[in-house]
Amino acid sequence: MESFKSKSEEFPFVSVVVPVFNDEKRIGKCIESLISQSYPKDKYEIIIVDNNSNDGTVEIVKKYPVKILHENNIQSSYAARNLGIKNSKGEIIAFTDSDCIADKNWILNSILFFGENKCDLIAGDIKFFYKNEQDIFEILDSFVHFNQKKGVLSNKVPTANLFIKKYVFDKIGFFNSDLKSGADILLTNKAVLAGYNLCFSLGSIVYHPTRNFKELILKHRRIAYDNIPSRLQQGESVLFIIYSLLVDFLPQKKFFYKRIRNINYKKNKTFLSIKLFFANWFIIFITNIYRFVYLKDLLIKKFKKNEKN
């Protein structure tokens, strides 16, 4: 795509798609950050796709000048995103989540990056903000999740901050709506394997709240049940999956002092490293218990199906 100039008419139209489910406390701030973008107002639309919320989410969304759609048939954020894509006008689709707050130059910096680089997909930077800076699990969340730069190197990035040219969907299809987690990882990997360029843009920033212990467990339980099908879909054998899960039970050496220098933690940093080490292992342990249970159920179903045949 050619370089973009400063004139509004020369900027591409962008569709921002945000799925939401029962997030009445945060969706308003997300929308306000999108409405306040520095990108020309006539060059982007905001599409909020409600995924069958039963709280006050829809009423809050209706207060803002955005397009609201409803995905009530499939309970999946990916089904909601697919509906948004199908009803979008933009040549570029931007994704973020209802709990995120976009930097005011989020869209502009991403479009300028597209113009200066040969990219078909852009993963932007995700910065965390804390509810409680002393909570060890919130610190852990900011350490191990949403490393977009690293994700681009492995061709796998989430939709919390992702821009995709619409023709990519025309060629490789939409998100797998049967999954509740991980379909974004599968899609970006599929796009790269199909020959499309995935890039990382440091200046395309959204802010994401850190998650506490309860929120992390809920997230990882959801991931656990979709992880096995997605790995099988990518061609991994059952034996290899079992081996990798067993290896994961071993504590991982991931935390180094240099990575926590800027954290406002009142206690000894070495003590913090130790706490992070074991907090990470504990989360992995619980997650893999869920995965083993799912894999066991999957194998039992397959065995019973073979017996019938």
Summarize pLDDT for 187-230 with one digit per residue, the tens.
999 999 999 999 999 999 999 988 888 888 887 777 766 667 76
What pLDDT, on the 0 to 100 scale, is given for residue 303?
72
- Residue 103, H or E segment: none
Contact assessment for residue 231 and residue 158, using Cβ atoms and an 8 Å cutoff: no
Stretch among 15-19, 62-66, 283-287 having the lowest mean pLDDT? 283-287
**Taking residues 135-153, what's their average pLDDT?**
82
What pLDDT, on the 0 to 100 scale, is given for residue 269?
63
Q: How many CA atoms lie within 13 A of 178 on its CB side?
A: 6
Give the span between the Cα atoms of 91 and 74, in whole angstroms.
26
Q: Please determine, for residue 128, whether its predicted confidence score (pLDDT) is greater than 70.
A: yes
Architecture in CATH for domain 8-211? Alpha-Beta Complex (3.90)
**Taking residues 104-115, what's their average pLDDT?**
97
**Taking residues 119-141, what's their average pLDDT?**
88
Give the span between the Cα atoms of 173 and 307, in whole angstroms.
35
pLDDT band (50, 70, 90) for residue 27: very high
